[in-house]
Structure 1
Amino acid sequence: MAAALPNDRLGFLLSFRGELTGARIRAALGVAGLHPRSVMTLMQLASGATSQRDLAAAMEIDPSQLVAILNELEGQGLAERRRDPADRRRHIVEITETGAAALERVDTAVNAAERELFGGLTDAEQALLRSLLDRVVVDPTGHDCGAE
């Protein structure tokens, strides 16, 4: 039995294309000198101030990971935390004007990268790809998350 070629293996193909796509997107994020998690955080904050706990839940990350990201963003003047006056144990996080400007630069660069990456696909094909990728479930525990 002949071994399957890499392009015949969907997992390998997706992994390889994902690495290339990730490299292109990371290069686009470089216009603001930000890491993907930092940009994702700013994107979440662009819709308005939120509690640190709600932000961690929305990003589906451990709160301790978020603290490290927020420390970096605050150090760069891109986001700020303050105590909630109604509950001093709670932190409110929001994007700063500098953060919004950085996010705008990133958005322009990512739009250009996505046009380059997906320019060969119609709008309908891009929507289909998004829909299909939403159905690909990766569970590090090995459980079958795709089972209905």
Structure 2
Amino acid sequence: MASLPVVNQPVHRSGALLDQLARRVRLRSESVLAPLGLRVRHLIALTVLRDRGGCTQQALATTLEIDGTNIVGLLNDLEAENLIARRRSPEDRRRHVVELTDAGAKRLAKAEFALAAVEDEVFAALSDAQREALYGLLQQALGTGDDGCVAAID
């Protein structure tokens, strides 16, 4: 049986390691987020809204790579806790703009404080510089293009 030639392939593949690391972080994160009434998907949505200043439901769904039906359920959860607010877009009344509320920002800050301990545990073998480098590489891998989540217009 002839083997296929390998051209310009990295020596190591990262996918399986990233998956294992993600599972470790997710399990520990779920345990510290539960007392705050949050799930990991809630945290990610709140973080995007804080960092981007709000956006349309459709743009948020695209950013989070969630279909339209699931984004509505996610936002319903967050709105029921007064963590986000949805309002009609002044430019297009058919669209909803989603923004983080003050209560959402406070809950997110508490969650991030709790998650800092999780990251300290999971990434204990890395120096601060290595952790910063990892963060930058992960951001780069995810891409930082304009996906439509921009500051909402009042």
Of 30, 37, 46, which residue of structure 1 is paired with 2:34?
A: 30
Of 86, 90, 114, which residue of structure 2 is paired with 1:85?
A: 90
Aligned partner of 1:145 in structure 2 is none
1:105 and 2:110 matched: yes
TM-score, normalised via structure 1 length: 0.73
The range that moved more, 106-115 or 13-22, is 13-22
TM-score, normalised via structure 2 length: 0.70
- C-alpha RMSD of the superposition: 2.6
* 1:38-77 alignment, distance < 5 Å: 38-47=42-51, 48-77=53-82
Gaps of 5+ in 1: 1-9, 136-148
Q: How many residues align?
A: 128
Partner secondary structure for residue 87 of structure 1? coil
| Contact 2:26 2:40 survives alignment (8 Å) | no
Partner secondary structure for residue 66 of structure 1? helix
Amino acid at match of 1:71: N
Identity score, percent: 38
Matches of 1:83 and 1:21, distance apart in 2: 36
| Contact 1:83 1:90 survives alignment (8 Å) | yes
1:116 and 2:89 matched: no
Matches of 2:81 and 2:29, distance apart in 1: 21
Partner secondary structure for residue 46 of structure 1? helix
Higher relative contact order (CA closer than 8 Å, sequence separation 6+): 2
CA offset digits 1:71-105 (Å, max 9, x no partner): 11111111111111221101010011111110000
